[in-house]
Structure 1
Amino acid sequence: MKFKLYIFLFLFSTIVFAQQKQVETSIDTTKNKIGAEFKLTLKTVVSSNSKVVFPKLKNIGPLEVIQSYPIDTVKKNDTYELIKKYGLTQFDSGKYTIPSIKILIDKKPFLSDSIRIEVANVKVDTLQQKMYDIKDITAAEDGIGNWWKYVLALLIILAIGAGIYWYVKKHQKKKIEEEVYKTPIEKATSLLNNLEQKELVQKGEIKEYYSELTDIARNYIEEAIHIPAMESTTSELIQAIRTASTKKKMTLTPETVENLERVLRQADLVKFAKSKPLDFEITEDRNKIQKVILTLDNAIPTEVSTEEEDQLLNEAQRQKQIQLQLKKQRNKRITIAVGSVVFLLVATTAFFIVTKGFAYVKDNIIGHPSKELLEGEWVKSEYGNPGVIIETPKVLKRMDALKTLPKETMALIKEMQLFVYGSMIDNFYVAVSTTKFKNPTDIDLSKALEGSLKVIELQGGQNIIVKQEDFQTNQGIQGIKGYGTMTVLNPATKTSLKGYYEILLFKQDQGLQQIIIFHEEGDTYANDITTRILNSVELKKANN
């Protein structure tokens, strides 16, 4: 929605629409009680060949259509007079503007005139109406003392988090002590037993079973015989074992080495070729690995190293395992600490949602754009001529509106200035415009407001509800204020936004001053911004 076009149409809509008298507009009364019917009448005279389409409406501006009367046709010589009536009502007192209605005559649009009406309250006769005694005061619940419940809930959350951390830490420490073994054969035997307890074969996890089984064997060979078994292929490992048996004078039968090679190659097929051995084959492979490990352990000669070297080697292996487990423990502690913090954040957020509501958490933790504007550093500045002094959350940016005006319009305008922040599809929009005319001009502020609303309709504004009242600045300068709600279409996302608007209009000598504010309906922070802006409005006299 381009605000630049607003200026031209808003200033000259009165002239343009005054020329379109194809549709005559009238109403039976301009003042009625709440809920009473206003009868709006539209008349048009057309030729016998013309096609006229009156819209089917549920609402006309802020008024509800309670009755759409049939079209009356009156023949006059070679023409026809078509009369369409709408029954309108409003259930809220105040002054309203019935906006223009678009009628299609031979597919060409024509607009009816807008009409101002007033809805008055219904007076209650207190002399005839039965009166009742005032109801006794009901004692309110004492909210003092409930704070301890919130503190208690927070302490419970903290205690639960600390308990979880302490339990896991103690459990990990105990587990580490259990997993530190004195010798490689002790470790391999224990891990084989633990592997059977996992029941991976029963669960159908054959690949995982063979992977752990061969890792146990490779890890034992690496620790006991000092061969890089974990990093070697099957062929490299078998060749390394044969070489080590010769150098270290290990008594190994060909059957032992062949059994190890057969199980390792079976594991390779399972892991990389998706082979599925039978149950008895899996059992045999497990027994072969156990037998191979025991045979290798018995084949290692005691004279390979002295007793002191064995002790140093075992101690080095023990320290290596301890360091590895401590590293795992440190990582798990970090994970637990992060998890505990996340848990506490989630629990605290849930606590505030329950006690304060989701809106409070969303606005104060996640953030709200209008709230940031409201609480930011405001700027007070003067815009245009005649000058408008106004306080806004951000500095208004100057826009060049004169380039969009036709030459005939420029002939009437001496000076025009426009300053804007945001747009009609942003979370908050404010614009200030000032205009000076060359020749004396009788400016009708109500007509100017109607023209601005007509432009909004042409630019895509829908379901516009209009209320109008007098407005006075703190310096006593009189003007008018139009306000209400409308629906605006976002052309990029094709979604609709229901917003609230306020339009202030003032006239001074040959000058016109206008302020427009628009934001999403129901945004309480934007409501506070609007109030603060309107309370800050000051006007300066036009300079000749």
Structure 2
Amino acid sequence: MKKQIFFLLLLISTSAVFAQKRVETSIDTTKNKIGAEFKLTVKTSVDTLSKVVFPNLKNIGALEVIQSYPIDTVKNNDRYELIKKYGLTQFDSGRYVIPAIKILINNKAYQTDSIAVEVANVQVDTLKQKMYDIKDIQPANDSLGNWWKYLLGLLVILAIGAGIYWFIKKKQKKKIEEEVYKTPIEKATSLLNNLEKKELWQKGEIKEYYSELTDIARNYIEEAIEIPAMESTTSELITGLRAASVKKKMTVSAETIENLERVLKQADLVKFAKSKPLEYEITEDRNKIQKAILTLDSSIPVEVPAEEDVLLNEAQRQKQIALQLKKKRKQRIISAAAIVVFLLAATTIFLMVTKGFDYVKDNLIGHPSKELLEGEWVRSEYGNPAVKIETPKVLVRTDLAKSLPKEGMALIKEMQSFVYGSLIDNFYLMVSTFKYKQEGQIDLKKSMDGSLQAMESQGAQNMIVKQEDYETQEGVTGLKAYGTFTRVSPITNDKERMYYEVLMFSHEGGLQQILILHQEGDKYANEISERVLGSVELKQGDK
């Protein structure tokens, strides 16, 4: 029985060795860096009638397939050598095994060799290469792909411009009418000429033509003779006109009034009975209206004003002139303001479409962090042993004794703190130095834990903490903690996410701490933090 098992195992192993001879496996390197590519090569030699299937894989073991290269075919006499390559990578350091994969040759499975590989970390020299935070996502500069934004901005600007132009033209038109039509006869004559220029009846709009024609006549009678012509029927108008001519002692003939009545009745038939006069009748009616208006105007007696009336009229004229000048100034101011509003709105909309709302808000409305970043910075020394640092504003001395536990204060010999802002502001910066009564090695990790606990006691919630070693440009080593936490805004009472960075050094027998916190996602505050922390320099204290 043992011999049977032995021979069975020998047969299986022999078959495996034979199978491996049909497939050759190799790799370009067994040691590589994180994210670098391994090229796994699989070769097989078959006759011209064989069918070979290489698997299409997304992962081979713990390694990710980033590229599946096309199969290379090399003809050698009556056989083909097929070469398939896979591009592999891994983003975690360590030792990995590329497992065997199945290759089908004429529907029969053959196994590739397993290969061990090693993925190493990328070594970074922090003395030569300064470390920076991850930058915010920047939009791609694709002006052609954003053409619709420019078109939309242009259309909005044109729409605003057209609206302002229409508003100004309407005001100007009203102003022209007020200045040109100084008398009812001038207004009626001008409107009759404009009516003819429209060529309404020639276009078949006879009803509209007669409506405007009679409105001109009625409006003149109402303004010049002072009877309610616009609201009266034709019979009421003629009756009132006859009565007014007697009262005002107008030398108007009965024929003139009859011709006016005839045209008004013709207009009533056109508007309400859909009558269609002939072309010569329309021309005659227009001439009758014009003649009637001129005759009525010439028949109105001219009153000679008394001397008192002349003085009164002159005073009224001077008052009217003053009012007109005031109105003109007001119109000029409105026009200038409209142009300024248009230019401002057009510029704002164009920038919003092309640059985005945040750009407009930050540059036109203002952003406190941006103003800090672009202001005049100050480089000063704070505390003992001194911390030399560059800040957007001069830090102000403050007393932190109340915020520290009593047992901690009992160990401190000297403490100095300098701040900008407060823990409830959108941006806060603090530099603190400590000297202890008992000399000895300071445990930075415990000190960092105490500082983070102090932040939690001030309202920080759900704190995420990451720690790493830190080294200044002068080679002084320390500890850095950074991350985010949630706090309740004292203004809106809403929860907001804050980002913080803490640097701690044990230098010259003391403890130095730099704390920065600001709203998460504030790109200007990120630049401030980067500049501040990059400027930290530790000096020797007073001995």
TM-score scaled by structure 1?
A: 0.49
For the pair shown, the structure with the greater C-alpha radius of gyration is 2
Q: Which has the bigger relative contact order, CA under 8 A and spacing at least 6?
A: 1
TM-score scaled by structure 2?
A: 0.49
